[in-house]
Amino acid sequence: MFDRGLNLTLRAVRRQIAAMPHDLYLIRLIHHQTRRAFPGERLWSASQLIHPATLRFLRVRNREGCDVYIQPYAENRNSGYVLVDLDHRDPEVVQTLGPLHISGSCSGVVRRQ
């Protein structure tokens, strides 16, 4: 049976993996209301990450209120880049991010100093 939501998630994850190819990815689940990370470290390869069972697991956690973060795993060698996605560019958000010198685009990658 065709699952439109699962298909859209698969397409989004494939695009993200293509944009940042790596051997392993660190998956973080952070509860939206409490801002607490789920315990444990989830390290998955790209093929594990796009497996339907994995995507179903992540979608269930998302429905339960978790934000899902995927980043290349580099042990203690984090690149220091942060993805900033400004879907709603309210003046206070732009003012808060002002020191980062974000241009007029709606999303971008910013180097942390």
**Per-residue pLDDT tens for 17-67?**
888 888 999 888 888 888 888 887 789 999 999 999 999 999 999 899 988
- Which three-class secondary structure state does DSSP give residue 55? helix
pTM above 0.85, yes or no: no
Rounded to whole angstroms, how far apart are CA atoms 39 and 35? 12
If we measure between CA atoms, which residue out of 75, 67, 65 comes closest to residue 26?
75
Rounded to whole angstroms, how far apart are CA atoms 35 and 67? 9
Asked if residues 108 and 102 have their Cβ atoms less than 8 Å apart, the reply is: yes
